[in-house]
């Protein structure tokens, strides 16, 4: 069998080094021994955006971007979307195995019992301006939760971690719904523990004067499928933020606030919001070719297209497209769907997109569903953040319990000035 090593010759010195290969990767620290002089810090790998750097070993989510495969703990996303529920999938992601019947019942009960927020949270929301972005409110509120639960700092206490896990998964929908109700000037609707996870979320968002809110089963199911699809996606930008911030051993609420902030950006979870704005801007099918030409000239991007990992159709986009049909049957066809379908059709035939392997991603169709369900665009990234919470916590816990993990602190290649002397202000040219 060939040796699992890499031989490197440094042409600056003529020296040769053997570096071990483990699971298809070399340890970047092994490059440190490659130096030109005693005071040289050693060879570093330069990799902005972590294009080819594995930051961890993980057993949670598998993505094969070339073949369009996504699995949580080995289970294909297609099977989970069809047969599981979000809470069951969250359990799977966190614990590594599907729950037994009694484990699922206990897990569901624990989440359901933690949906209520401390009343003081309402005072924080009330302080926001009426047109504050719901994602901005969510980031602040989830960060504020750390002050309500100071014991959450005990991150190496498994019982405490479990308690915060229940709280976070349970309270994210309540925080999101309260932020939404604040933005539309409606009184907060409290959780209804008789309803499912997504049924209760719809209740807290849309309950009016009725005594008991009854979620539409198709919409409840559609939202649940969307939540399953968004639950985890290995080392994406927000998960990297969760792990990176969590590596300082801060409490999980503060780390989740950071992950939410990363998700908010238009290149990540904010893309679904941008997709809808783009479709509205295009307006009609006949304007699609001109828009695509603009994108090809470098004037903006086709939002909801392209992915760092998927160089094939995002498997989540395929499932979402089917889910959209079920929602449109209840709520009527979203007129922007025709624009989206035309955009996809033209882009998938165009050499620019083919050569760069740009396909629809998870955000391309999700916004259309959310809009049809009555959500304003500002809620789109929030709808991403709620289910991703289980993934963030699983990844955070995996990082904490991994003895090889350390405080996340990359190196840099310094290109600035050498030392120079301070010049008094009156002497500067």
Positions touching ligand ACO (CB under 6 A) are 267-269, 271, 295, 301-308, 356, 358, 361-363
| CB count in 10 Å sphere of residue 49 | 8
Is 307 tagged catalytic?
yes
Q: Residue 285 or 301: which CB sits closer to ligand ACO?
A: 301
Token pair listed for 305: 């297209």
Q: Residue 203 or 274: which CB sits closer to ligand ACO?
A: 274
**Which one of the listed residues 118, 166, 216, 268 is annotated catalytic?**
268
86, β-bridge pairs: none
Token pair listed for 104: 């699922």
Q: Residue 67 or 294: which CB sits closer to ligand ACO?
A: 294
CB 198 within 8 A of CB 86: yes
Q: How far apart are CA 199 and CA 195, in angstroms?
A: 5
Q: Three-state DSSP class for 429?
A: coil
Give residue for tokens 């002397």: 421
Q: Residue 306 or 315: which CB sits closer to ligand ACO?
A: 306
Q: Residue 139 or 358: which CB sits closer to ligand ACO?
A: 358
Is 192 tagged catalytic?
no
> Using N-to-C axis directions, what is the helix angle for 197-206 and 86-95, rounded to 10°?
120
Q: How far apart are CA 201 and CA 367, in angstroms?
A: 18
Q: How far is the CB of 2 from ligand ACO (least distance, A)?
A: 32
> Using N-to-C axis directions, what is the helix angle for 158-183 and 252-264, rounded to 10°?
40
Give the residue at shortest CB distance from ligand ACO.
306
Q: How far is the CB of 165 from ligand ACO (least distance, A)?
A: 23
CB 175 within 8 A of CB 140: no
Q: How far is the CB of 385 from ligand ACO (least distance, A)?
A: 11
Distances (CA, A) of 176 to 32, 115, 196, 386, 390: 46, 12, 16, 8, 15
Ordered strands of the 5-10 beta sheet:
5-10, 15-22, 25-26
Q: How far is the CB of 395 from ligand ACO (least distance, A)?
A: 15
Is 66 tagged catalytic?
no
**Which one of the listed residues 114, 182, 233, 307 is annotated catalytic?**
307
- Distance in Å from the first CA to the final CA of the chain: 67
Distances (CA, A) of 139 to 78, 124, 227, 326, 404: 31, 12, 19, 31, 30
DSSP letter at 287? G
Q: Residue 148 or 313: which CB sits closer to ligand ACO?
A: 313
Q: How far is the CB of 308 from ligand ACO (least distance, A)?
A: 4
Chain center to CA of 162: 21
Q: How far is the CB of 415 from ligand ACO (least distance, A)?
A: 22
Q: How far is the CB of 216 from ligand ACO (least distance, A)?
A: 26
Q: Residue 138 or 204: which CB sits closer to ligand ACO?
A: 138
Q: Which residues contact 426 (CB under 8 A, 6 or more apart)?
A: none
Look at the alpha carbons of 205, 193, 387, 139 in this order and tell me if their dihedral is positive or negative: positive
Would you name the residues annotated as active-site residues? 268, 307, 363
């Amino acid at each position: 069998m060939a040796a699992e090593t890499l031989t490197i010759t440094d042409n600056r010195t003529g020296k040769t080094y053997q570096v071990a290969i483990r699971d298809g990767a070399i340890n970047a620290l092994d490059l440190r021994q490659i130096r030109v002089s005693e005071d040289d810090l050693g060879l570093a790998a330069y990799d902005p955006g972590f294009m080819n750097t594995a930051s961890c070993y993980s057993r949670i989510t598998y993505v094969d971007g070339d073949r369009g495969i996504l699995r949580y703990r080995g289970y294909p996303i297609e099977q989970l979307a069809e047969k599981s529920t979000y809470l069951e999938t969250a359990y799977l992601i966190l614990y590594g195995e599907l729950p037994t019947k009694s484990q699922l019942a206990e897990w569901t009960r624990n989440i359901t019992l933690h949906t209520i927020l401390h009343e003081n949270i309402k005072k924080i929301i009330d302080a926001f301006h009426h047109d504050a972005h719901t994602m901005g409110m969510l980031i602040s509120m989830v960060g504020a939760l750390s002050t309500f639960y100071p014991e959450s700092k005990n991150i190496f206490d498994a019982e405490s971690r479990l308690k915060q896990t229940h709280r976070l998964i349970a309270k994210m929908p309540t925080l999101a719904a309260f932020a939404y109700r604040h933005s539309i000037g409606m009184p907060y609707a409290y959780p209804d523990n008789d309803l499912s996870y997504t049924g209760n979320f719809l209740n807290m968002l849309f309950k009016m004067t009725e005594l008991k809110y009854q979620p539409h089963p198709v919409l409840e199911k559609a939202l649940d499928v969307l939540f399953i699809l968004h639950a985890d996606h290995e080392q994406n930008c927000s998960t990297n933020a969760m792990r990176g911030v969590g590596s300082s051993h801060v409490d999980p609420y503060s780390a989740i606030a950071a992950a939410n902030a990363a998700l908010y950006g238009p290149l990540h979870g904010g893309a679904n919001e941008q997709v809808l704005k783009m479709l509205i801007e295009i307006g009609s099918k006949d304007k699609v070719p001109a828009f695509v030409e603009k994108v090809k000239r470098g004037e903006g991007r086709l939002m909801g297209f392209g992915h760092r990992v998927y160089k094939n159709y995002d498997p989540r986009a395929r499932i979402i497209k089917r889910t959209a049909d079920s929602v449109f049957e209840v709520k009527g066809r979203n007129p922007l769907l025709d624009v989206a379908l035309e955009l996809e059709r033209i882009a998938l035939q165009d050499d620019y997109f083919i050569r760069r392997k740009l396909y629809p991603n998870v955000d391309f169709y999700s916004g259309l569903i959310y809009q049809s369900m009555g959500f304003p665009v500002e809620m789109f990234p929030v709808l991403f953040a709620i289910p991703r919470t289980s993934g963030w916590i699983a990844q955070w816990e995996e990082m904490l319990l991994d003895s090889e993990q350390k405080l996340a602190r990359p190196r840099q290649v310094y290109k600035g000035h050498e030392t120079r002397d301070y010049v008094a202000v009156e002497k500067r040219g």
